[in-house]
């Protein structure tokens, strides 16, 4: 059975700049840490997989001593966990407030995949509560109920390690040759490729200049038809998929095949309309 696995942040919604960054900064302020990440600084932090892991980048010996933080590693880990729990609460409040819109095309493609009988999942290194809030925002409650969610500390090593995708494939009983991953970052792409999965990339606010060598398709957006029309711009297309003004399920269905040959058992529902096939 074919499967479509989405990353969360940057794929379902462009949450890093307008969700995670303000949530981190509000958390730092609440705990009196005298830290405020700028947009430029956070563009570097997003390359660190996992929220707690990003917070730990603060913990130089000088920072720990200046803030009176515990020197015992276990106590310091618990302090970071408290910061992160509060950050997750702030972040989910931002998402539920509706100020961060879903990215174009994600609900359309997920609905087409569900209609075609594909397995749907999200695999993310963000906290599970955060992921579920974005999933419901992006997909709506009815479609979100058909997703399996693999998130947070379900694996020890975060992206770019392949562990989260290996775990999802095992738990869902999938054949890696039938899986397509949609990612937005190089770390996410490397995780998918490391698990032996085909990966399409839709670049996001902080990832447009990253190196996506190895991805099967790279676009700036999955695109949507009118009235919300967003047109897909192809950035890399090594398999010659040649998507039209928007990426459709049939485009993704060919990606696990090295030569781009379409799978005759998979087609788009009529909602996505006719689409040229690769030659």
CATH no. of 16-96: 1.10.150.240
Nearest residue to 156 via CA among 17, 49, 16, 263 = 49
Q: Which CATH architecture has domain 3-14+101-272?
A: 3-Layer(aba) Sandwich (3.40)
What is the reported pLDDT for 277?
34
Q: Is 9 one of the annotated active-site residues of the chain?
A: yes
Instruction: Identify the pLDDT of residue 274.
Output: 34
pLDDT given for residue 257 in this prediction = 76
Query: DSSP letter at 18?
Result: I
- In tens digits, the chain (279 residues) has pLDDT values of 899 999 999 999 999 999 999 999 999 999 999 999 999 999 999 999 899 999 999 999 999 999 999 999 999 999 999 999 999 999 999 999 999 999 999 999 999 999 999 999 999 988 999 999 999 999 999 999 999 999 988 999 999 999 999 999 999 999 999 999 999 999 999 999 999 999 999 999 999 999 999 999 999 999 999 998 999 999 999 999 999 999 999 999 999 974 443 343 333 333 343 333 333
Q: Would you state the pLDDT for residue 228?
A: 87
> Which value, to the nearest 10 degrees, does the dihedral of the CA atoms of residues 174, 177, 183, 186 take?
120
User: In whole angstroms, how large is the CA radius of gyration of the chain?
Assistant: 19
What pLDDT does 125 receive? Answer: 87
Catalytic residue among 7, 178, 184, 268: 7
Helices (H) and strands (E) in the chain, counts: 11, 7
Domain ranges of the chain: 3-14+101-272, 16-96
- The residue annotated as part of the active site, out of 9, 14, 251, 272, is 9
């Amino acid at each position: 059975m074919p499967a479509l696995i989405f990353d969360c942040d940057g794929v379902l919604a462009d949450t890093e700049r307008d969700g995670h960054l303000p949530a981190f900064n509000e958390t730092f302020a609440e705990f009196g840490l005298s830290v405020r990440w700028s947009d430029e600084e956070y563009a570097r932090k997003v390359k660190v997989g996992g929220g707690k892991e990003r917070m730990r980048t603060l913990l130089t010996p000088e920072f720990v001593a200046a803030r009176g933080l515990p020197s015992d590693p276990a106590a310091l880990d618990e302090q970071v966990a408290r910061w992160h729990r509060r950050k997750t609460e702030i972040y989910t409040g931002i998402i539920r407030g509706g100020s961060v819109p879903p990215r174009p095309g994600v609900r359309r493609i997920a609905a087409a995949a569900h209609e075609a009988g594909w397995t749907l999942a999200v695999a993310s290194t963000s906290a599970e509560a955060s992921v579920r809030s974005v999933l419901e925002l992006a997909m709506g409650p009815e479609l979100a109920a058909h997703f399996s969610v693999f998130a947070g500390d379900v694996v020890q090593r975060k992206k770019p390690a392949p562990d989260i995708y290996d775990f999802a494939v095992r738990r869902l009983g999938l054949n890696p040759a039938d899986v397509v991953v949609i990612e937005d970052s190089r770390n996410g792409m490397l995780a998918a490729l490391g698990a032996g999965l085909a990966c399409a990339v839709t670049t996001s606010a902080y990832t447009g200049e990253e190196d996506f060598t190895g991805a099967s398709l790279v676009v700036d957006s999955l695109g949507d038809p009118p009235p919300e029309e967003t047109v897909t711009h192809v950035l890399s297309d090594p398999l010659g998929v040649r998507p039209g003004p928007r990426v459709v399920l049939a485009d993704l269905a060919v990606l696990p095949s090295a030569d781009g040959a379409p799978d005759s058992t998979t087609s788009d529902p009529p909602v996505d309309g006719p689409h040229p096939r690769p030659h």
